[in-house]
Amino acid sequence: MRAHIENWLLRHWYADDRPPWFLRALEPVYRAGFHRSQKNFSKDAANPAAQSGSRAAVIIVGNITAGGSGKTPLVIRLCQLALEMQLKPGIASTGYGRQGKDTLVVEPDSDVRVCGDEPVMLAARTGVPVVVAADRTEAVERLQAMGLDLIISDDGLQRAALPRDMEFCVIDGERGLGNGHLLPAGPLREPPERLEKVDHVVSNGPWKGKPATIQVIEMALQASVVRSLDDNTEYPVDEFQRKHAGNMVHAVAGIGNPERFFTMLEGLGFKVRKHVFADHHAFRSRDFDSIEGESAIIMTEKDAVKCRALGLKNAWYIPVEVRLPAEFERVIKNRFSKLTKDTR
């Protein structure tokens, strides 16, 4: 049911026609509530590095649209850049969809139900400290006590009370800003003018309708390997595709924008049968009763962390890597260096 509701909303949010009247009627209510929550926000006043040289700088990676845009892969890449500089980064998250509200340090083998799918994936991929909390500010405070240089928040752009030194806003290049309406009439969490205030706007793929007044950095998601859920056996994507050439594969996605994943698989040469689930879906064995068979199952890395314990046969996942312009990565490293010079 949830997946059907999400798909219905997405069709209206990213269509050219006007959204239904009852969604438009609620838009002013959301706008008023949003402005009340933001009226006391000042990025400079909330700057933790400015408050004390002993505190880690806070980097926000968020978006202004609902649904998947590619934030988490960018968080991973920013951690990798920090590690290349011999810095000590950490990641803050709420662990959306998890059971419980405790503040927890996440390990690669933590229970996904308790910690959330994205935090467990981030812990496994980066090897850096990851903390989940119902309130991101609590996650940041726990990380501040660990003696880190940088804290990267996966989402949180709209969390006015969350301190920040640097903001990245990620836009799905294919979807853009949708119909331009605020929630629930459209996908916007904030008015488009917010893009003028962040440090960097990053487009996941080409953004054809980007505003002329906004500088946009384009990133690309690249897939190079396919890994087994069973034992992490790894094949290059092209070799795996040749083994399954002409055969249909089951593509499973419980993410914010499943079509992007399906399009990627088709672009890699796979013949795909699509299986769409709600974002952050808690997979169970019965979800695969009609899927398992001789054909391979391919899913996202985020979904894989929830499916490892299900004992699926011939199930695989594709991790993606972010590619950014080399000059932009130098800009990021220079900024990281300035933000951390007083904390090291």
The Cα 59–Cα 299 span in angstroms is 29
Gap between the Cα atoms of 279 and 68, Å rounded: 9
Q: What are phi and psi of 264, to 5 degrees?
A: -60, -45
* pLDDT, position 41: 58
Neighbours of 48 (CB within 10 A): 19
Q: In what order do the strands lie in the sheet with 150-154?
A: 104-106, 130-132, 89-93, 150-154, 57-62, 166-172, 200-204, 216-223, 320-323
Which positions ≥6 away from 104 have C-beta within 8 Å? 95, 110, 114, 115, 131, 132, 133
Instruction: Report DSSP letters for 150-187, one per residue.
Output: EEEEES-TT-TTS--SEEEEEEETTTTTTTSPBTTTSS
* Token output for 149: 């240089």
pLDDT tens per residue across all 344 residues of the chain: 676 787 788 888 987 778 999 999 999 999 998 888 877 555 544 555 444 455 899 999 999 998 789 999 999 999 999 999 999 999 999 998 898 899 999 999 999 999 999 999 999 999 999 999 999 999 999 999 999 999 999 999 999 889 899 999 999 999 999 999 999 999 999 999 999 999 999 999 999 889 889 999 999 999 999 999 988 899 999 999 999 888 899 999 999 889 999 999 999 999 999 999 988 899 999 999 888 677 999 999 999 999 998 999 899 999 999 999 999 999 999 999 999 986 65
Cβ count near 304 (within 10 Å): 24
Which residues, including other chains, have CB under 8 Å from residue 312's CB and lie 6 or more apart?
229, 230, 288, 292, 297
d(CA 71, CA 169): 8
Domains of the chain and CATH, by start: 2-219+324-340 (3.40.50), 221-321 (no CATH)
Alpha carbons 318 and 270: distance in angstroms, whole number: 13
pLDDT at 42: 52
Contact 185, 9 (CB under 8 A): no
Burial of residue 267 (number of CB atoms within 10 Å: 0-12, 13-18, 19+): exposed
Cα 254 to Cα 271: distance, rounded to the nearest angstrom:
19
What does the DSSP 8-state code read for residue 193?
G
Q: Where are the beta strands (DSSP E) in 77-215?
A: 89-93, 104-106, 130-132, 150-154, 166-172, 200-204
- What was the pLDDT predicted at 47? 54
Looking up tokens 């094949």 gives 235
Backbone conformation region of residue 26, classed left if phi is above 0, alpha if psi is from -120 to 50, else beta: alpha
